[in-house]
Amino acid sequence: MVNSKQIESNRSPVAGPVLAVIMAIIVEAMFFGGLISAYVLAAAGQVEWPPASQPRLPVSITFTNMLVLLFSGWTMWQYLKSVKKGKPSNYLQITIILGFIFYLVQGYEWFRILLFGVQTSHSLFASFFYTLIGLHGFHVLIGLLLLIFLWRYQKKGGKNLYNYSLAVGLFWFFVVALWPILYNLIYLN
């Protein structure tokens, strides 16, 4: 073996993990894009939307909850800035807590509505409601797991902290940004 180290001069300015997450977000965006356009088209074809028989959705609690989630986006951003300076701050833990609050409140609402007797099979509206909100919830959960993974990585003193936190952060921003769109379409229609 003469020289087994690769000379890596040809790197794009974006690090591998970040690039990978950007690609994943594009796929995710198209995935939700498909669902959302299906929803919009379905709603456009109905005389009354949501159908009169459906219980009203809890608009104001959800709105407050949305503010919590948006705020967690801001704290994540603060965290990223601190990592860039080389002094990771506690904003990460705050983000995780805010994320959990959102997740629990939203999950509680989701089940409560289920208990009111709105079942998936009752109407198209209910089908969409559970699917879209449920899928978003699933993504929040993944985001939270990633944030916790990041926290552990930071505690272990991992060397690649900036790239990993940027990658996780981008995913979190995606999850946060998706919510107002869903809220607007489903709760406020």
Residue ranges in contact with other proteins by CB under 8 A: 1-12, 14-16, 19-20, 23-24, 26-35, 37-38, 41-42, 45-46, 119-121, 123-124, 126-128, 130-131, 135
- Please state, in angstroms and rounded to a whole number, the distance separating the CA atoms of residues 121 and 116: 14
Nearer to other proteins, 2 or 87 (CB): 2
Give 57's DSSP letter.
P
Size of the chain in residues: 189
> Coil, helix or strand for 175?
helix
Least distance in angstroms from the C-beta of 154 to other proteins = 21
Sign of the dihedral through C-alpha 75, 81, 84, 85: negative
Nearest distance from residue 30's CB to other proteins, in Å?
3
Nearest distance in Å: CB 43, other proteins: 10
What single-letter amino acid sits at 23? Answer: M
Smallest distance from other proteins to CB 119, Å: 8
Q: Do residues 84 and 75 touch, judged by C-beta distance below 8 A? A: no
- Whichever of 5 and 152 has its CB closer to other proteins, that residue is 5
| Other CB atoms within 10 A of residue 9 CB | 5
Nearest-angstrom CA–CA distance, 81 and 151: 15
Identify which of residues 119 and 184 has a Cβ nearer to other proteins in the complex: 119
Task: Give per-residue burial for 26-46: e unless 16+ CB within 10 Å, then b.
Answer: eebeeebeebbeebeeebeee
What minimum distance in Å lies between the beta carbon of 68 and other proteins? 27
In the complex with other proteins, the residue whose CB is nearer, 98 or 186, is: 186
Instruction: Please identify, using beta-carbon distances, which residue of 20 and 97 lies nearer to other proteins.
Output: 20
